[in-house]
A and B are shown apart, each in its own frame.
Chain A
Amino acid sequence: GEDVEQSLFLSVREGDSSVINCTYTDSSSTYLYWYKQEPGAGLQLLTYIFSNMDMKQDQRLTVLLNKKDKHLSLRIADTQTGDSAIYFCAEAPSQGGKLIFGQGTELSVKP
């Protein structure tokens, strides 16, 4: 079946690195995504990774994919207060584009 799991909360201090973890179940997922949602807003696409990649880095963001364990992580370097938001991972189990989302991880950055 299709299921994506995330821890619900993460609290870090400003300047530290944040690591948000996600596990998924559908091994056929071609792309895996990370989105950021601020209160009352839509979802902002942060980054994505193709399933044949192990790692992708984009400025302060690093995505690691362990396909064997179906584990995905998002690392945010030098976390800032503006990074406080809910982060969703999502898998795309088919070519049709439908996304299956995790529950979201609320990141709180303390000054």
Chain B
Amino acid sequence: GAVVSQHPSWVICKSGTSVKIECRSLDFQATTMFWYRQFPKQSLMLMATSNEGSKATYEQGVEKDKFLINHASLTLSTLTVTSAHPEDSSFYICSARPNYEQYFGPGTRLTVT
């Protein structure tokens, strides 16, 4: 199957700072990528759809000014958590699809202290 990578795999940051998470499709081009958030023992919640060359589409209740998404190339989307707070601590997972098969990255665990 196709490969999606994320970087970093885990990050600890202080409250009030910003953190950038990268999502890359390694062996295919992706005009669309998806960002999900997962709390412990819970399901995945779609945060936003990242569109190459245009603005991201955010799900209801997700603050676009807090979770900045940039999809500058066909293989890279970034999620920046701005002015992070402890409640932003979570597991962030991206996905992309070369066709109807959607592949997920390994996830990034963010801890805000």
Contact = CB atoms under 8 A, between A and B. Distances in A.
A103 B32 contact: no
Contacts of A68: none
Nearest to A41: B106
B68 interface: no
Interface residues of A, number: 22
B42 A98 contact: no
Contacts of A97: 32, 34, 49, 97, 102
Interface string A89-111: 00010001111111110000000
Contacts of A92: 100, 102
Contacts, number: 54
Nearest to B109: A40
A24 to B, nearest CB: 13
B97 to A, nearest CB: 6
Q: Give the most central of A97, A99, A103: most B CB within 10 Å.
A: A97
A104 B34 contact: no
Contacts of B32: 96-97
Contacts of B4: 42
Interface string B78-101: 000000000000000101010011
Contacts of A103: 42-43
A7 B106 CA distance: 25
A42 B43 contact: no
Given A45-B101, A98-B46, A101-B44, 17 more contacts: A30-B100, A31-B100, A33-B102, A35-B104, A42-B4, A42-B93, A88-B43, A96-B32, A97-B49, A97-B97, A97-B102, A99-B34, A99-B44, A101-B43, A102-B43, A103-B43, A104-B43
15 contacts: A35-B104, A40-B107, A40-B109, A42-B4, A42-B6, A42-B104, A42-B107, A43-B95, A45-B1, A48-B100, A88-B44, A92-B100, A98-B46, A99-B34, A104-B42
